[in-house]
């Protein structure tokens, strides 16, 4: 099946630093989504991208849908303690009728 | 808006028993709901797609007779884990796709522990 390669697997940063993570796939995705999951909870949608080249912001978060439709990145600026969690990229490889394919996640840890 | 609830939030059961998990979209209608499973420190894996009024579609490797899915209304889907075994212990998360959109909203998950 479809696979998403997400990196890095984990990040240890200082509060206030910027964060960047990305996802790549071997095949074209029509939609890219970025979720955050806190321990013991379901994923919460952060940003949704629907068009190649699209750049979308949500507060301190910015994500882009790659031109090739095979990659996406998420940036977090000026990290704060509540940014700690696991970030997943996800997408629909087809027309959107299917369930989501998830990346393996990036575990963000912020050191005071 | 777009709130999805799951019940129960956690359940412990004995091996061999069946457990039912409910997924409800509270403030919107969803013709399609999805069930995912997440093992510790791993990503979410799609188990099945639940369509209102029709049979669920299961992903390869997921036993349909073990994981019974019913989507009886536009706001409720249930997952029943039949004859549960310790290896079924996992975090089960549902999502609901809002009618007319591609956006999936996730529930808070149900932690199943089978002793």
CA distance B50 to chain A (A): 10
pLDDT of amino acid B51: 87
Q: Are A60 and A76 in contact (CB under 8 A)?
A: yes
Residue A55 confidence (pLDDT) above 90: yes
pLDDT tier, B24 (very low <50, low <70, confident <90, very high otherwise): very high
A103/B contact by beta carbon, under 8 A:
yes
What integer pLDDT is reported at residue A96 of this predicted model? 53
Checking if the pLDDT of B6 tops 80, the result is yes
Summarize pLDDT for B62-109 with one digit per residue, the tens. Answer: 999 999 999 888 999 999 999 999 999 999 999 999 888 778 899 999
Q: What pLDDT score was predicted for residue B41? A: 87
Contacts of A79 (CB under 8 A, 6+ apart): A13, A15, A16, A17, A18, A19, A108, A110
Query: Which DSSP category does B98 fall into?
Result: P
**Residue A47 reports pLDDT greater than 90:** yes
Strands (E), B14-109: 19-25, 32-38, 44-51, 57-58, 67-73, 76-81, 90-97, 104-106
Stated as kind and residue range, the H or E segment containing B7 is: strand B4-7
Please indicate whether, in this complex, the C-beta atoms of B108 and A41 are within 8 angstroms of each other: yes
Q: Is residue B104 within 8 angstroms of chain A, CB to CB?
A: yes
Distance from the Cα of B33 to chain A's closest Cα (Å) equals 9
Q: What residue in B sits closest to A37 (Cα-Cα)?
A: B108
Check pLDDT > 90 for residue B26. Answer: yes
- Minimal CA–CA distance to B22: which of B32, B8, B33? B8
| Cβ within 8 Å of residue B14, ≥6 positions away | B114, B115
Q: For position A1, what pLDDT does the model report?
A: 54
As a whole-number percent, the residues of chain A with pLDDT over 90 amount to 77
Pairing of strands A19-25, B104-106: unpaired
Which residues of chain B make contact with A48, given a CB cutoff of 8 A? 103
DSSP three-state, residue A51 = coil
Kind and range of the H or E run holding A22: strand A19-25
Q: What is the pLDDT of residue A94?
A: 63
pLDDT at B31: 84
Q: Does A1 touch chain B (CB under 8 A)?
A: yes
Q: Which of B60, B104, B108 sits opposite A100 (nearest CB)?
A: B104
- Give the distance from residue A104's alpha carbon to the nearest chain B alpha carbon, in angstroms: 5
A21: left (phi over 0), alpha (psi -120 to 50) or beta: beta
pLDDT tens digits, B35-75:
999 999 899 999 999 988 888 999 999 999 999 999 888 99
pLDDT of residue B57: 92
CA separation for the pair A72, A46 (Å, rounded): 14
């Amino acid at each position: 099946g479809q696979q998403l390669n997400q990196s890095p697997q984990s990040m240890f940063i200082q509060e206030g630093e910027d964060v960047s993570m990305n996802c790549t796939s071997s095949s074209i995705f029509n939609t890219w989504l970025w979720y955050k999951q806190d321990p013991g909870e379901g994923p919460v949608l952060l940003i949704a991208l629907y068009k190649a080249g699209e750049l979308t912001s949500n507060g301190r978060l910015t994500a882009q849908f790659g031109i090739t439709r095979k990659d996406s990145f998420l940036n977090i600026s000026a990290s704060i303690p509540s940014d700690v969690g696991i970030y997943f990229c996800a997408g629909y490889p087809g027309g959107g009728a299917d369930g989501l394919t998830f990346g393996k996640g990036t575990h963000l840890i912020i050191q005071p | 808006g777009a709130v999805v609830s799951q019940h129960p939030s956690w359940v412990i059961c004995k091996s061999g028993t069946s457990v039912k998990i409910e997924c409800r979209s509270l403030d919107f209608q969803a013709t399609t709901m999805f069930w995912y499973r997440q093992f510790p420190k791993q990503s979410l894996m799609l188990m099945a797609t639940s369509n209102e009024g029709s049979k669920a579609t299961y992903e390869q490797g997921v036993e349909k007779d073990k994981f019974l899915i019913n989507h009886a209304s536009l706001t409720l889907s249930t997952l029943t884990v039949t004859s549960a075994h310790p290896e079924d212990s996992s975090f089960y998360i549902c999502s609901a796709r809002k009618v007319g959109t591609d956006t999936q909203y996730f529930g808070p998950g149900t932690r199943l522990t089978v002793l």
